[in-house]
Amino acid sequence: GEDVEQSLFLSVREGDSSVINCTYTDSSSTYLYWYKQEPGAGLQLLTYIFSNMDMKQDQRLTVLLNKKDKHLSLRIADTQTGDSAIYFCAETSFSGNTGKLIFGQGTTLQVKP
Amino acid sequence: EAQVTQNPRYLITVTGKKLTVTCSQNMNHEYMSWYRQDPGLGLRQIYYSMNVEVTDKGDVPEGYKVSRKEKRNFPLILESPSPNQTSLYFCASRRTGNTEAFFGQGTRLTVV
Protein backbone atom coordinates (compact mmCIF):
# COMPACT_ATOMS: atom_id res chain seq x y z
CA GLY A 1 0.00 0.00 0.00
CA GLU A 2 0.93 3.62 0.09
CA ASP A 3 3.63 4.55 2.55
CA VAL A 4 5.63 7.67 3.38
CA GLU A 5 8.76 7.47 5.54
CA GLN A 6 10.73 10.17 7.32
CA SER A 7 13.47 10.21 9.90
CA LEU A 8 12.13 11.27 13.30
CA PHE A 9 14.62 13.86 14.47
CA LEU A 10 17.07 16.45 13.15
CA SER A 11 19.17 18.91 15.14
CA VAL A 12 20.99 21.87 13.57
CA ARG A 13 22.63 25.08 14.69
CA GLU A 14 21.05 28.44 13.99
CA GLY A 15 22.26 29.80 10.66
CA ASP A 16 23.04 26.37 9.20
CA SER A 17 20.98 24.72 6.48
CA SER A 18 18.54 21.95 7.41
CA VAL A 19 17.68 19.11 5.08
CA ILE A 20 14.69 16.95 5.89
CA ASN A 21 14.26 13.81 3.80
CA CYS A 22 11.24 11.74 2.86
CA THR A 23 10.64 8.62 0.77
CA TYR A 24 7.33 7.42 -0.61
CA THR A 25 6.11 4.30 -2.34
CA ASP A 26 3.08 5.37 -4.39
CA SER A 27 4.23 5.79 -7.98
CA SER A 28 0.93 7.47 -8.88
CA SER A 29 1.56 10.34 -6.47
CA THR A 30 0.48 13.59 -8.07
CA TYR A 31 1.38 16.17 -5.46
CA LEU A 32 3.90 16.04 -2.64
CA TYR A 33 3.66 18.40 0.30
CA TRP A 34 5.58 19.73 3.24
CA TYR A 35 3.58 20.75 6.30
CA LYS A 36 4.86 22.43 9.44
CA GLN A 37 3.38 21.88 12.88
CA GLU A 38 4.38 24.17 15.73
CA PRO A 39 3.65 23.13 19.33
CA GLY A 40 -0.06 23.31 20.10
CA ALA A 41 -0.92 24.41 16.58
CA GLY A 42 -2.50 22.87 13.53
CA LEU A 43 -0.80 22.05 10.28
CA GLN A 44 0.53 24.82 8.09
CA LEU A 45 1.19 24.11 4.43
CA LEU A 46 4.74 25.23 3.68
CA THR A 47 5.03 24.24 0.06
CA TYR A 48 4.10 21.57 -2.42
CA ILE A 49 5.50 20.21 -5.66
CA PHE A 50 3.79 18.63 -8.60
CA SER A 51 5.17 15.23 -9.54
CA ASN A 52 6.43 16.39 -12.96
CA MET A 53 8.75 18.94 -11.33
CA ASP A 54 12.28 18.34 -10.03
CA MET A 55 12.73 21.39 -7.87
CA LYS A 56 10.78 24.25 -6.36
CA GLN A 57 12.23 27.20 -4.51
CA ASP A 58 10.34 29.59 -2.27
CA GLN A 59 12.47 32.08 -0.34
CA ARG A 60 14.47 30.02 2.21
CA LEU A 61 12.78 26.76 1.22
CA THR A 62 13.97 24.45 -1.55
CA VAL A 63 12.13 21.26 -2.41
CA LEU A 64 13.88 18.59 -4.45
CA LEU A 65 12.04 15.64 -5.98
CA ASN A 66 13.73 12.55 -7.34
CA LYS A 67 10.84 10.70 -8.90
CA LYS A 68 12.95 7.72 -9.94
CA ASP A 69 14.03 7.06 -6.36
CA LYS A 70 10.72 8.34 -4.88
CA HIS A 71 12.69 10.71 -2.68
CA LEU A 72 11.61 14.18 -1.57
CA SER A 73 13.66 16.64 0.46
CA LEU A 74 13.08 20.01 2.07
CA ARG A 75 16.04 22.31 2.53
CA ILE A 76 15.70 25.28 4.85
CA ALA A 77 18.46 27.83 4.35
CA ASP A 78 19.74 29.95 7.24
CA THR A 79 17.68 28.00 9.78
CA GLN A 80 16.26 30.09 12.62
CA THR A 81 15.02 29.12 16.09
CA GLY A 82 11.51 29.91 14.84
CA ASP A 83 11.87 27.02 12.40
CA SER A 84 11.84 24.55 15.30
CA ALA A 85 8.77 22.41 14.69
CA ILE A 86 7.61 19.05 13.37
CA TYR A 87 7.75 18.79 9.58
CA PHE A 88 5.48 16.36 7.77
CA CYS A 89 5.92 15.08 4.27
CA ALA A 90 2.65 14.05 2.58
CA GLU A 91 1.50 12.85 -0.80
CA THR A 92 -1.75 12.51 -2.67
CA SER A 93 -2.66 10.90 -5.95
CA PHE A 94 -6.11 12.37 -6.64
CA SER A 95 -7.35 8.93 -7.61
CA GLY A 96 -9.90 6.82 -5.77
CA ASN A 97 -10.27 8.62 -2.46
CA THR A 98 -9.54 11.91 -4.11
CA GLY A 99 -8.01 14.30 -1.67
CA LYS A 100 -6.65 11.78 0.82
CA LEU A 101 -3.25 12.80 2.15
CA ILE A 102 -0.77 10.12 3.14
CA PHE A 103 1.56 11.49 5.82
CA GLY A 104 4.98 10.49 7.00
CA GLN A 105 5.70 10.14 10.71
CA GLY A 106 6.99 13.69 11.00
CA THR A 107 10.55 14.98 11.56
CA THR A 108 11.15 17.05 14.67
CA LEU A 109 13.58 19.83 13.82
CA GLN A 110 15.50 21.23 16.76
CA VAL A 111 17.39 24.47 16.13
CA LYS A 112 20.10 25.29 18.66
CA PRO A 113 21.12 28.92 19.16
CA GLU B 1 -11.14 34.79 7.21
CA ALA B 2 -10.99 31.36 5.57
CA GLN B 3 -10.76 28.75 8.27
CA VAL B 4 -11.59 25.33 9.62
CA THR B 5 -12.89 25.44 13.18
CA GLN B 6 -12.86 22.48 15.52
CA ASN B 7 -14.43 22.26 18.96
CA PRO B 8 -13.49 21.54 21.60
CA ARG B 9 -9.71 22.06 21.53
CA TYR B 10 -9.19 19.86 24.57
CA LEU B 11 -11.38 17.13 26.01
CA ILE B 12 -10.93 14.61 28.79
CA THR B 13 -13.65 11.98 29.02
CA VAL B 14 -14.33 8.56 30.47
CA THR B 15 -14.55 5.25 28.67
CA GLY B 16 -17.94 4.65 27.11
CA LYS B 17 -19.33 8.18 27.31
CA LYS B 18 -20.46 9.28 23.85
CA LEU B 19 -18.87 12.45 22.50
CA THR B 20 -18.89 14.57 19.39
CA VAL B 21 -16.10 16.74 18.02
CA THR B 22 -17.44 19.40 15.70
CA CYS B 23 -15.78 20.70 12.55
CA SER B 24 -16.94 23.61 10.46
CA GLN B 25 -15.44 25.29 7.38
CA ASN B 26 -16.43 28.57 5.76
CA MET B 27 -14.84 28.06 2.33
CA ASN B 28 -17.62 26.07 0.65
CA HIS B 29 -15.26 23.11 0.23
CA GLU B 30 -16.68 19.84 -1.01
CA TYR B 31 -14.08 17.53 0.51
CA MET B 32 -13.72 17.17 4.28
CA SER B 33 -11.87 14.59 6.32
CA TRP B 34 -10.77 13.63 9.81
CA TYR B 35 -7.27 12.52 10.79
CA ARG B 36 -5.76 11.35 14.01
CA GLN B 37 -2.16 12.06 14.92
CA ASP B 38 -0.18 9.69 17.10
CA PRO B 39 3.54 9.89 17.97
CA GLY B 40 5.71 8.07 15.46
CA LEU B 41 2.75 7.36 13.17
CA GLY B 42 2.07 10.74 11.59
CA LEU B 43 -1.52 11.51 10.63
CA ARG B 44 -3.89 8.78 9.54
CA GLN B 45 -7.23 9.36 7.88
CA ILE B 46 -10.30 8.22 9.83
CA TYR B 47 -13.20 9.18 7.56
CA TYR B 48 -13.74 11.46 4.62
CA SER B 49 -16.62 13.06 2.78
CA MET B 50 -16.61 14.08 -0.85
CA ASN B 51 -19.82 16.08 -0.54
CA VAL B 52 -23.09 16.37 1.37
CA GLU B 53 -24.47 12.96 2.35
CA VAL B 54 -21.41 11.21 0.87
CA THR B 55 -19.04 9.72 3.44
CA ASP B 56 -16.60 6.83 3.42
CA LYS B 57 -14.04 5.12 5.61
CA GLY B 58 -10.41 6.12 5.67
CA ASP B 59 -7.60 3.99 7.01
CA VAL B 60 -8.57 3.80 10.70
CA PRO B 61 -12.40 4.11 10.94
CA GLU B 62 -13.06 1.61 13.76
CA GLY B 63 -14.83 3.20 16.72
CA TYR B 64 -15.80 6.37 14.85
CA LYS B 65 -18.80 7.70 12.98
CA VAL B 66 -19.31 10.83 10.91
CA SER B 67 -22.15 12.64 9.21
CA ARG B 68 -22.34 15.28 6.50
CA LYS B 69 -25.81 16.79 6.51
CA GLU B 70 -24.58 20.23 5.50
CA LYS B 71 -21.65 21.22 3.36
CA ARG B 72 -19.91 23.26 6.03
CA ASN B 73 -20.10 20.78 8.94
CA PHE B 74 -18.48 17.39 9.43
CA PRO B 75 -18.76 16.16 13.02
CA LEU B 76 -16.78 13.20 14.35
CA ILE B 77 -18.72 10.96 16.70
CA LEU B 78 -17.28 8.51 19.19
CA GLU B 79 -20.23 6.39 20.37
CA SER B 80 -18.28 4.53 23.05
CA PRO B 81 -14.79 6.01 23.45
CA SER B 82 -11.95 3.79 24.60
CA PRO B 83 -8.46 4.69 25.86
CA ASN B 84 -6.88 3.72 22.52
CA GLN B 85 -8.75 6.65 20.99
CA THR B 86 -6.69 9.06 23.05
CA SER B 87 -5.08 11.13 20.34
CA LEU B 88 -4.81 14.49 18.61
CA TYR B 89 -7.54 14.89 16.00
CA PHE B 90 -7.52 17.15 12.96
CA CYS B 91 -10.30 18.09 10.61
CA ALA B 92 -9.36 19.19 7.10
CA SER B 93 -11.19 20.54 4.08
CA ARG B 94 -10.40 21.37 0.50
CA ARG B 95 -12.01 22.09 -2.82
CA THR B 96 -12.23 18.98 -4.95
CA GLY B 97 -9.21 18.72 -7.22
CA ASN B 98 -7.42 21.56 -5.49
CA THR B 99 -3.95 21.07 -4.12
CA GLU B 100 -4.20 22.70 -0.73
CA ALA B 101 -5.99 21.26 2.28
CA PHE B 102 -6.86 23.53 5.19
CA PHE B 103 -6.56 22.09 8.68
CA GLY B 104 -8.26 22.95 11.91
CA GLN B 105 -6.27 23.68 15.06
CA GLY B 106 -6.72 20.18 16.42
CA THR B 107 -8.62 18.55 19.27
CA ARG B 108 -6.62 16.79 21.95
CA LEU B 109 -8.77 13.97 23.31
CA THR B 110 -7.93 11.93 26.39
CA VAL B 111 -10.07 8.92 27.27
CA VAL B 112 -9.54 7.57 30.79
| Cβ separation B99–A48 shorter than 8 A | yes
Q: How far is A1 from chain B (nearest CA, A)?
A: 11
In angstroms, the CA A52 to CA A41 distance is 31
On whether any CB of chain B is under 8 Å from the CB of A2, the answer is no
Q: What is the mean pLDDT of chain B?
A: 94
Q: How far is A90 from chain B (nearest CA, A)?
A: 9
For residue B57, the model assigns a pLDDT of: 94
Q: Which residues of A touch B31 (CB under 8 A)?
A: 98-99
Say which range, A22-31, A57-66, A96-105, B47-56, has the weakest mean pLDDT: A96-105
pLDDT of A63 above 80: yes
| Cβ separation A45–B100 shorter than 8 A | yes
Instruction: Tell me the percentage of chain B whose pLDDT exceeds 90.
Output: 86
